[in-house]
Structure 1
Amino acid sequence: MAATQRRGRRIMLTDEERDVFLTERRTCRVATVGADGHPHVGALWFVWDGTSIWLYSLTRSLRWAQLHRDPRVAVVVDDGDEYGELRGVELRGEAVPVGEIPRTGEPCPELAAVEALFPVKYFGIDAMPHDGRHAWLRLTPATVVSWDFRKLPGLG
């Protein structure tokens, strides 16, 4: 995976910790770049497959329009209330649409595993509900940075 984290190595998540964290968390924040160069940040549901984060986004959204123009994206998944509890992962790279836009459920082998995980995680059902308004974006990160302040001496 991606660039090695230099700063904060003692508080970074191991690969296993990162995978568990990203599998268990439910909401991420996605930052895109506007035509004026300013960022736009919004919350999304996602699935982590161990290599890529899969974002299920409305296709008629500012996020989708911005990613169509500039695929660069940063995604943050974090947790914790008190300073010594803070932990998270930031993934950066380019988002790529996968499957039909919007997604209606046409067979797409690349989405089979993701669409098996998503409805269980968010709806407690086995079949992916397609509403004809959302589509999938895959981010295979070029850069991953993580932190777990619980690993700091005297804080965790």
Structure 2
Amino acid sequence: MKITKTVRRTTAERRRDTLERLDNERDVWVSTAHPEHGPHQVPLWFFWDGRAVWMCTAAASATARNLRAQPRVHLGLPDTFDVVLVQGEAQCIPDQEVDAGAAEAYTAKFGWDPRGEEGSFVYIRVVPTTVRAWRGEPELRGRVVMRDGAWLDRSAPDPR
């Protein structure tokens, strides 16, 4: 295994890079837990609307059942070197009640509209409360870039 030297980024750079990944990535690992059945982890497609992560799954899935029982959720982008972990509380919205703009953004990104499928689906909306981002050991210290729903480096302009 080849180890690449990492240059420590500032909080503003981590924020910028995290927002870019949220805008451009397709998959996220969703970790939930049920009070009686324990932990569950699954990859889902997602899109970022600038404030929240949106996903969709079958209404009867273990993920949806867990979130209805315990809305706390952890999300992880699928890269073990360029880590982005998001914590928040999930809101499950039935496919026929979801905001049209969110559903259309999901369909535009993935070419699939769950609202037209047989069976019930739920859109899952997660507004981050905590975000951690780091690349390798040099960035472990200071990895929290959002706390209590607020980006920590407010001096940096929003990259949008």
Counterpart residue number, 1:120: 108
CA distance in 2, matches of 1:114, 1:72: 21
Aligned to 1:55: 55
The CA deviation at 1:76 is 0.6
CA-based RMSD? 2.7
Conserved? CA contact 1:59–1:134, under 8 Å: yes
Amino acid at match of 1:87: D
Name 2:131's counterpart in structure 1: 144
Higher RCO, Cα 8 Å, sep 6+:
1
More deviation, 10-19/130-139: 10-19
Contact 1:28 1:44 in 2 (8 A): yes
For 1:92, which of 78, 81, 87 is the aligned residue? 87
* Residues 20-35 of structure 1: pairs in structure 2 closer than 5 A: 20-35=20-35
Structure 2 unaligned spans of 5+: 1-7, 140-160
What is the match of residue 38 of structure 1? 38
Post-superposition Cα deviations, 1:51-103, rounded to whole Å, max 9, x if no partner, equal 111111211111111111111110111336xxxxx2131111210123xx2x1
Q: Higher strand share goes to which structure?
A: 2
CA–CA separation in structure 1 for the residues paired with 2:37 and 2:55: 22
State the shift of 1:134 in Å. 1.4
Aligned counterparts of 2:30 and 2:10: Cα–Cα separation in 1: 23
Shift of 1:121: 1.6
**Matched residue of 2:30: which SS?**
strand
CA distance in 2, matches of 1:136, 1:144: 21
Aligned position for 2:73: 73
Q: 2:31 & 2:114 partners in 1: Cα distance?
A: 26
Moved over 4 A (4+): none
Tell me how many residue pairs correspond in the alignment: 129
Would you say the 8 A contact 1:11–1:147 is kept in 2? Answer: no
Q: The residue matched to 1:78 in structure 2 has which SS?
A: coil
With the length of structure 1 as denominator, give the TM-score of the two structures: 0.70
Unpaired runs of 5+ residues, structure 1, are 1-8, 81-85
